[in-house]
Chains A and B, each alone.
Chain A
Amino acid sequence: MRRLCIHSYRGEQRVPCVAGTVLRDALLAHGVGLAGTCDGGGTCGRCRVTLSPAPPLTPSERLHLSDRDTARGVRLACRVTVTTDLHVTLDAPASAGWRALDLPTHDRLRPRLARARRGQSLRRATTRDASALAVAVDLGTTHVRVSLWDLWQGRRLAAQIGPNPQAMFGVDVLSRLARAAASPADAARMADAVVAALGEAIRDLCLAAGHDVSAIERVVIVGNTAMLALLTRHNTDALLDPAQWTQAIDCTPRDPDGWRRAWRLSPAADILVVPPLAGFVGSDLVAAVLATHLCASRDPAVLIDFGTNTEVACWDGDTLHTTSAAGGPAFEGSGVGCGMPAERGAIVRVERATTPPRHLRIDVLGGGEPLGVSGSGLVDAIACFIDAGQLTPAGRFTDPRRGAPLVIAAGASGRDIALSKRDIDVFQRAKAAIGAATRLLLDEAGLREVDVQRLCVCGAFGEHLASAHARSIGLLPSVADARIELHGHAALSGAERLLEPGRPVRDLGDIRARARVLNLATAPRYEDAFIAHLALRPAATEEIVGC
C-alpha cells in the first residue's frame, strides 16, 4: 500500500493507494476529479498535477507539457502509475463554488395574485402569508445557473451560478458520456453530484431569501441533452451513438421522489425536466429561443448560445433551424491557460489605446488586480493582437522569439496574463465550429447575413462581448451592431418563464413543432466551412464552395 499526500486549495489530505494504480483513478476514487477530455487516454493533456518525487516522463507528457513544467514536476495524472509514496499538488480550480448571479431586477412573471382575482383555483389563495416559491435551473456543461422565484409577487428573489461538479469526470460532453458508459458507478456519481449541487443551491437561495424550502411548488430544469441525460440517467449510451443524435431523447426523471427528498421539497412539488429537441440540441436552446421571443415575428433571426456545447438557432419566419457545435470550453474561461469565468478579477474587456504607443487597456470585473481573462476579454484580446500585428489571421505569432506568449496584462501574482499558441489554437477551432454551424444554418434557411434582423448572442459571454471585435475575428457573422442583442442568461430566463403555467408552455410547444435539427456531423459541407472559418478574420458572407 502506498500513500498519497494531496495538497489542494482545500488543504492537505492523506489517502492510501494500491501500488500499480493509475494516479488519475486513485484521485477520482477519493473524490478528487481532474480536468480532462479524453477519459484518461493521455491525449488531452488536461489532468495536470505537480508530483514529488516526479516519475520519469512518458511520450504523451513530453508532447503536452513544456520543459519548464516538467522540470518542476508537472505530470499528467492519467500517465502516472503509483509505485511510491507521492506528494500530489493540485492547481486551484478556476471557480470553487456558488456565487450570486446578477440579473436584471425588472424581470417579472405574472403575479399569482392577479391570476387569483381572475378566478383560477388556488390552494392557498386564502392564506396570503404562506409563500409559494419556484426554482428555475439551467444545467450547462461547465456552469449551472439557478434562480428562486416568489410566485405570489411574480418576482425573482435571488439567483446563483456555480460550476457543474461533473467537470471532474471530463470537461466536455463526450468525455463525460464515455465515462458514464464505461462505469455505471461513475454514471451514478455524476448524477448524484449534480443533484447534490442543485440541492445546495436551492437551500442557499431559500436561506438567503428567508423562505422555507418546503414552499417550493415547482422546479423547471433546462439544459443540453447530455447534461439532462446524465442527470436523469437515461440514454447516456445512446448519446454516444451518432445515429441517435437527431432522435428525441427521453429525459424524464426516473426517481423524482428521490430528488424531492434530496432537496427537502414537499412531496407535492412539481419537477419538470424540459425535454431536449434531439440528441445534441438541448432544451436550453429552446428556452433561450422562448426568452428572446426569437420566433415571435416573421423577421429572420439568429440565436447563438455560446458555451462549452454551443447551440445555434436560425429562424426564417416559418421554421426554426437548429444545430450544435462542440466548440469546447474556451468561451467559458476554462479552455485557455489564463481563462476564468466572468467573475470578480476577470478581464472582461480589452481595448487598444487610440494614441501611440497604443498599449492595451483592460477592464477588470470588480476593479482591482486582474486574475485571468473571461470569454469576452479573450475575444477582445485576440482582436487587439491581430490589429497590432502581433498575431496573424492564420494564428501565427509574429514575435520571432520562440514560445513567447502574447501578454494581455501583468497578473496579480506576478505571473503575466498571456495567451500561448495553444490558447489561440483552441480558440480558433472553437470559433470555426460555431462559424461553420451558423453558416450552414443560414444556407439551410436560404438567408444571407443582410437578411438577419436580429442576432441574439446568449450564454457564456454575458453582457460584456464587444460585437465589433467579435465580428472582426469572425466569431459573429457580419450583422450590423444595431441588430445584435446580448442576452447573458437566456436559457435561465426561458426556464423562468416556464415557471408560470399557460401561455409560455404553449409557446414552447409551438417552438418545438417548428424546429428542425441539422446534424453537422453528417453535413457534407461542414468540414470545408469549418476550415474556411479557422482564420481570425471577418466571416465570409457568401456560401462556402467546397473544393
Chain B
Amino acid sequence: MLDSYIAAYNDAVFDTDRDEALRVVQRALDDGASPEDIVFRLVVPAMDQMIKAISEDFDANLAQHFMTAQIANEVTESMLRRFTAPPQALGRIVMGTARGDMHSLGKRIVMGCLKAQMVECVDLGVNVAPDRFVDEAVAQRASVIGISAMMSHTARGPDGCLGVRRLLQERGLEHRIRIIVGGAPYRFDPDLYRVVQADAWAEDGITAGKVIAGLLTELPPWP
C-alpha cells in the first residue's frame, strides 16, 4: 500500500519540495498508513537513498542534502508525536561537536537520522569540552557519546575524542559508556577513529543508527 507513496515522497524530497513532501505524507496517512510506517518505511529509506546517491557521486550537492535532511527531520518530528505507543528508544546518546569545531550541520543530519531510528539524542551543541561530554553523559544516563569533528585538528587534537577517552578512563566509566565519532576526517582515513581512541565511527546517520544499536548491546543498562 505504501509503495505508491514512496516514489512520490522521494521525488518531492529530491526536489527539496517540502510542501509536496508533507502533502504526500498526509495522503499516505489518510490512506491508512501509520505514523510508524511513515518513519520506518518512507523517511528512513529515502534518507538512506539520498546518502547513497551522495557517497557515489563525487559531484554531489551538499546544499541539497542539508535541505532534504531538514524535510526528513520535520516529518519525523511530527510523526513521532503521533506514534500510537510512545516510541521505544534503543538507547540514549549525548552528541556534540568537538572542542574548537563549530560545524554543526553534519551533527544535525545525523541526529535527525538517529531519532528516526529510535535512538534518543541529547544535543550538546557545538564546541563541547571533553569534561562536558562526560558530565552530560553521566547526568543524562547516556550509554554513548557522539563526537562530531569536521576539521583535522579538532578530530585529532587533545581536546577532542582523546580528551573524552582520558576522562572516561580516569573516572572508571569505560565499561558503561562508548564513544562514536563522525565527520569528514574519519571518512578519509578509516583508521583515524582508532588513532583517536574512539570505539567506533560511522560515515552517515543511517550507519550511525546501526553502529549505535550494536554498541548498546555490549553495555549494561545504567543502574
Say how far A544's CB is from chain B's closest CB, in angstroms: 12
Say how far A435's CB is from chain B's closest CB, in angstroms: 12
Stretch binding the partner chain, chosen from A48-56, A131-139, A425-433? A425-433
Query: How far is A39 from B60 in the complex, measured between Cα atoms in Å?
Result: 22
Cβ A43 vs Cβ B63 within 8 A: no
Say how far B178's CB is from chain A's closest CB, in angstroms: 25
A59 within 8 A of B: yes
Cβ A394 vs Cβ B59 within 8 A: no
A62-81 with Cβ < 8 A to chain B: 62-66
Interface size for B (C-beta < 8 A) is 36
Interface size for A (C-beta < 8 A) is 42
Report B-chain residues with C-beta under 8 Å of the C-beta of A241.
Answer: 100
Cβ A421 vs Cβ B61 within 8 A: yes
A41 within 8 A of B: yes
- Bitwise, A512-543 to B at CB < 8 A (1) or not (0) is 00000000011000010011001100000000
Contact among A41, A64, A240, A527 with B152 in the assembled complex (CB-CB below 8 Å): A41
Main secondary structure of the interface of A (DSSP, over half): helix
Cβ B59 vs Cβ A422 within 8 A: yes
Say how far B146's CB is from chain A's closest CB, in angstroms: 17
B41-98 with Cβ < 8 A to chain A: 57-64, 66-67, 70, 73-74, 77
Cβ A394 vs Cβ B64 within 8 A: yes
Stretch binding the partner chain, chosen from A174-182, A357-365, A470-478? A174-182
Report A-chain residues with C-beta under 8 Å of the C-beta of B58.
Answer: 62-66
Beyond A394-B67, A531-B66, A535-B16, whether A428 also contacts B61 by CB under 8 A is yes
Report B-chain residues with C-beta under 8 Å of the C-beta of A420.
Answer: 59
Cβ A424 vs Cβ B61 within 8 A: yes
Cβ A521 vs Cβ B59 within 8 A: no
Query: How far is A242 from B103 in the complex, measured between Cα atoms in Å?
Result: 12
B32 within 8 A of A: no
Query: How far is A395 from B62 in the complex, measured between Cα atoms in Å?
Result: 10
- Bitwise, A380-413 to B at CB < 8 A (1) or not (0) is 0000000000001011100000010000000000
Contact among A43, A240, A428, A432 with B185 in the assembled complex (CB-CB below 8 Å): A43
Cβ A174 vs Cβ B64 within 8 A: no
Say how far B76's CB is from chain A's closest CB, in angstroms: 11
Contact among B17, B67, B188 with A531 in the assembled complex (CB-CB below 8 Å): B67
B126 within 8 A of A: yes
Cβ A531 vs Cβ B70 within 8 A: yes
Cβ A38 vs Cβ B102 within 8 A: no
A154 within 8 A of B: no
B34 within 8 A of A: no
Say how far B16's CB is from chain A's closest CB, in angstroms: 4
Cβ A530 vs Cβ B74 within 8 A: no
Report A-chain residues with C-beta under 8 Å of the C-beta of B187.
Answer: 43, 63
Query: How far is A182 from B100 in the complex, measured between Cα atoms in Å?
Result: 14
Cβ A38 vs Cβ B152 within 8 A: yes
Say how far B191's CB is from chain A's closest CB, in angstroms: 11
Say how far B103's CB is from chain A's closest CB, in angstroms: 9
Beyond A42-B188, A174-B151, A240-B100, whether A395 also contacts B64 by CB under 8 A is yes
A319 within 8 A of B: no
Cβ B188 vs Cβ A242 within 8 A: no
Beyond A182-B153, A521-B102, whether A395 also contacts B15 by CB under 8 A is no
Cβ A392 vs Cβ B15 within 8 A: yes
Report B-chain residues with C-beta under 8 Å of the C-beta of A327.
Answer: none
Say how far A34's CB is from chain B's closest CB, in angstroms: 16
A116-175 with Cβ < 8 A to chain B: 174
Cβ B151 vs Cβ A178 within 8 A: yes
Query: How far is A521 from B57 in the complex, measured between Cα atoms in Å?
Result: 30
A453 within 8 A of B: no
Report B-chain residues with C-beta under 8 Å of the C-beta of A40.
Answer: 152
Query: How far is A417 from B122 in the complex, measured between Cα atoms in Å?
Result: 47
Cβ B59 vs Cβ A421 within 8 A: yes
Query: How far is A178 from B152 in the complex, measured between Cα atoms in Å?
Result: 9
Residue of A nearest to B59 (CB): A421
Query: How far is A63 from B63 in the complex, measured between Cα atoms in Å?
Result: 17
Cβ B61 vs Cβ A242 within 8 A: no
Report A-chain residues with C-beta under 8 Å of the C-beta of B10.
Answer: none
Contact among A65, A242, A392, A547 with B102 in the assembled complex (CB-CB below 8 Å): A242
Cβ A60 vs Cβ B63 within 8 A: no
Query: How far is A347 from B15 in the complex, measured between Cα atoms in Å?
Result: 30
Beyond A178-B151, A240-B100, A394-B15, whether A41 also contacts B185 by CB under 8 A is yes
Cβ B63 vs Cβ A432 within 8 A: yes
Query: How far is A39 from B154 in the complex, measured between Cα atoms in Å?
Result: 12
A8-61 with Cβ < 8 A to chain B: 38-43, 59-60
Report A-chain residues with C-beta under 8 Å of the C-beta of B115.
Answer: none
Residue of B nearest to A65 (CB): B58
- Bitwise, A428-445 to B at CB < 8 A (1) or not (0) is 110010000000000000
- Would you give 7 A-B contacts (Cβ < 8 Å), ordered by A? A38-B152, A43-B184, A394-B63, A395-B64, A425-B61, A531-B66, A535-B67
Residues of A within 8 A of B (CB): 38-43, 59-60, 62-66, 174, 178, 181-182, 240-243, 392, 394-396, 403, 420-422, 424-425, 428-429, 432, 521-522, 527, 530-531, 534-535, 547
Starting from the known contacts A59-B188, A527-B105, 4 additional A-B residue pairs (CB-CB under 8 Å) come to A43-B187, A60-B189, A242-B126, A522-B126
